[in-house]
Every structure is written in structure tokens, then in C-alpha cells.
Amino acid sequence: MKKLFFSKYLRLFANLCLLLQGIAVNGSEVPQIGHFPSEVWQIQSAEAVNVDPKKLEKLFDLSFEDPSTQGAALFKNGKLIKEHYAEGYSEANVATSWSMAKSFYAALVGISIERGEIGHLDEKLSLYLDYFLDDRRDITIRQLLNMTSGLEMPSHEHEKMFFTADHLAYAKRVKFEQAPDQVFEYNNVNSMLLADLLLQVTGTPADILLRERIFNKIGLNDVTLWQDTAGNALTYCCVDTTVRQYARFGLLFSRGGQWQGQQVIPKAYVDETFQQYWSDIPSNDLNHPRGYSLHWWVSRYDEQSKIFNASGKFGQYIFVDPTNDVVFVRVTKYHPTGGDKIDWGPLSFLNKIGSVEFRRKLAMRLSQWGWVDIKADVKAPMTFDDGVSNQFSINYSEIIDNLATLNQP
């Protein structure tokens, strides 16, 4: 405990010294890089930003070959170049992030390190979470964020956690399975534990931190941050907002954590995020090599281009090409139920029946048959069959190729 106390205040002293030297730390003014949107995005033509119109059109054609696509938009140099929405939808319609939220909440770890609330990424979680003082004691924060913690990974991949009342209590009970850093396992529990880590080091719930430390500073105000029934922030999923609003977070990372002359997320943390820690990750859906780093996926990482993405179940994406300052957002069809705290209402009986996919389909059928009024009786993020991707996954490699070469003749 003395060591933790000393480390924390040593870092605070170091940050104070940086401020006195005029070096930018989190929240301070730095030279502004490029154009940023105000409340409304400025629109510009593809030709004006040297984007090939034919490749841009192909990118959108590939995206909307999948009927689940609700909306997609491409942004370059901080401006809106093109957007399109499915029939019946517009830029005003929200979508849910599913696991894109992992990337949002992970950014708070970088801010906490800069503020001295956390020492560094390679610190052991057991310094902050006393229930990790067992065979999990050596798992580090970096291993949690890189999905290499070695925590148990059952066949249902902890998706059952989504149907429990207290997601954090569920995550705390998940035990150690294998040595860290041996294998990549995309484990929702790793991300849910961030809710407790951030609460312990700041005294503030993670969803409030996300609003105060990031979203409010970049104008991402029209947003729903879901909690579980017990009131815990869902740090592994479930942020509802629009395509244009999601793009603000992508642009923030494209600009190295800076927004209109303010360093919102430490640049060093963004730079470390945009590396490739784990590569050649297999996928059941995508015939495309992927990597991973600090709760971001790596879509391409070679000499020609480096493209990263926040990714969510059923096909939600925020692609970021920081070299070319390109952000591309694609979301699938969503039927919001309102509220921000999960309440399954009459669907609670489903929470112990069958697989997660079975429960999703049964809930949809009950709604179609009129036995349950989802919007009136249930409060939860939900994706029905019309929002489940298929063709987009098949087109994924070609989509990445188009993104990587938008600026090439």
C-alpha cells in the first residue's frame, strides 16, 4: 500500500513538473491539428480532399450490399465527405455500439494513468482490486486490455453475463484459467472489470467519467450509456448514439487524442494503442487477418497502411486510418427501447433458457407475435434479425482495401 501511495503521488508530481515546463498533459492546450467539427459537421466533396469518387462509391456499395446496414459515413480531414442511410433511417437515428464501447472505456485508462490515478499499464490489477489477490494476482492492466489475461473463457464466451442483473458481480467471480499472454481470447469479462478498476481509482462510475473526461469535450452529447439492472456502467458494451456522433470518437483517435487544441487523451496512450500487439487472429465471420491492441482491433498493419477499428457485435464499426486522417463508421439496424438501465420486464424468464442466440431470436418472435411489446415492456439494447450482418463480413477484405486506397489513383 505504501508503494502504491508513493507511485501515485510521484506521478502527480511529475505531471505538475510537465505543466510548469509548458509541456502538454491531459486537458491542457496544445497546437490544434487540422479541422474539427463544431456542433454540425462541415461537408466537403471527395475531390476537394483528394478522395477517389469511384472508390468512395464502391465503399458504400459494398457496405449497403448487406441489408442490415442502417447507416454509413466517411469523414476525412475532420469533414463529412459522404453518408448514406437505409430506407426509413437518417442521420438522426441512433444505433447501439455493442462492443465498440470497449474502445471508449479503455481510453479512460490512459487518462487515469496521465492523472496519476493508475501507475502504468503493466501494473497488476491486484493493486487496485482486492478480490484479485488469489491465483489472478499477477494479471496486469495491459493483459486485460489486450485480451490476454488468461481468465476463464467458456463456450458461451460470457455472453450470458448480458442477461444477469449484476454484470460486475458476474465478472468478479470469473477465475483464472491459464497463464497470461499465452493466448488471445476475446473475453467480455476483461472489459467489464474496467468498471470496477476505474471506480476504485477515481471514486466515480465509469459512465460518468466517460461523459466528463471524453464525450463532453468532443461534443458527443446525444448519447445513452447503458447500465445493468444493478446500476453498474457496462464497460464492455452498449453505447447508443448516431453515426455522426460515433465519428467524433474516431476523429479523436485519428488526431492522437487531441480535440480543438486540447489534449483529451494522452498522445502517448493513443500511439501505444495504435500498435499491433496481437496479430493473425482467426475469425468465424471474417476471411481477413486481424490484430488487436488495448481494446482496438487492427484491420491492416503494413508498410502501405495502418487501419484500426472499434468493433461491435452484429457489424458495428468505427474504422480509423490515422495516417490519412480518415474515419469510416458503419452501423446496423437498431430498434431502441428507451431508458439507460437494463430491465427485461416480461422477458426475464428467457434469461435461463438456451443459448444467447436462442434468447435473442425468441424475444424477436414474441415481439412479432404481439405477445411482448418490446418498446413498452423492455428496456435494453437489442438487435433483431434485420440488424445482423452477413454480406458486410463477406465483403470485409474488399472494404478494407477500398479504405486503404481512397487517396490513391
| Cα 246 from Cα 71, distance rounded (Å) | 12
Q: Let me know if residue 20 belongs to a domain.
A: no
255 in the same domain as 111: yes
Task: Compute the average pLDDT of residues 168-197.
Answer: 97
Per-residue pLDDT at 3: 40
Q: Which of 10-14, 198-202, 290-294, 347-351 has the lowest mean pLDDT?
A: 10-14
Of the candidates 291, 314, 337, which is a domain's last residue?
314
Question: For residues 51 and 55, what is the distance between their CA atoms, to the nearest angstrom?
Answer: 8
**pLDDT tens digits, residue range 360-398?**
888 888 888 989 888 789 999 999 999 999 999 999 999
Residue range 263-297, pLDDT digits in tens = 999 999 999 999 999 999 988 889 899 999 999 99
Q: Which residue has the cell 491492416?
A: 300
Please check whether residues 357 and 240 belong to one and the same domain.
Answer: no
Are residues 351 and 310 part of one domain?
Answer: no
30 or 209: which leads in pLDDT: 209
Q: Considering 314, 335, 369, which residue would you say is the last residue of a domain?
A: 314
Domain contains 32? no
CA atoms of 400 and 405, how far apart (whole Å): 9
Q: Is the same domain home to 267 and 189?
A: yes
266 assigned to some structural domain:
yes
282 and 362 in a single domain? The answer is: no
Asked if 237 contacts 244 with a C-beta cutoff of 8 angstroms, the reply is no
User: Can you spell out the DSSP letters for 303-316?
Assistant: SS-EEEEEEETTTE
pLDDT, residue 374, reads 84
The mean per-residue pLDDT over the stretch 331-357 comes to: 89
Give the model's pLDDT for residue 354.
Answer: 76
At 101, is the pLDDT very low, low, confident or very high (cuts 50, 70, 90)?
A: very high
The residue range of the domain holding 369 is: 345-377
The CA R_g of the chain, rounded to the nearest whole Å, is: 21
Percent of the chain residues topping a pLDDT of 90: 80
Q: In terms of domains, do 227 and 175 share one?
A: yes
Give the predicted TM-score (pTM) of the model: 0.91
- Please check whether residues 228 and 365 belong to one and the same domain: no
Is there a single domain that holds both residue 219 and residue 359? Answer: no
CB 8, CB 119: distance < 8 Å: yes
Q: How far apart are CA 26 and CA 20, in angstroms?
A: 14
Give domain status of residue 37, yes or no.
no
Q: How many domains does the structure of the chain reveal?
A: 2
Does residue 303 share a domain with residue 359? no
Q: Give the C-alpha separation, 380 to 312, whole Å.
A: 16
Cβ-based burial of 409 (10 A; exposed 0-12, middle 13-18, buried ≥19): exposed
What is the pLDDT averaged over residues 97-116? 98
- 48 located within any domain: no
- In sequence order, the β-bridge partners of residue 320 are 308, 327
241 & 364 share domain: no
- Domain-embedded: residue 54: no
Read off the pLDDT of residues 234-255 as tens digits, 9 standing for 90 and up.
999 999 999 999 999 999 999 9
Q: What is the mean pLDDT of the chain?
A: 91
Whether residues 262 and 363 fall in one domain:
no
Is position 360 within any domain? yes
Judgement on whether residues 303 and 199 belong to the same structural domain of the protein: yes
Task: Give the SS3 label for residue 122.
Answer: coil
**CB neighbours of 130 closer than 8 A, spacing ≥ 6?**
none
Where is the domain boundary, 273, 295, 314?
A: 314
306 occurs within a structural domain: yes
CATH number at residue 229: 3.40.710.10
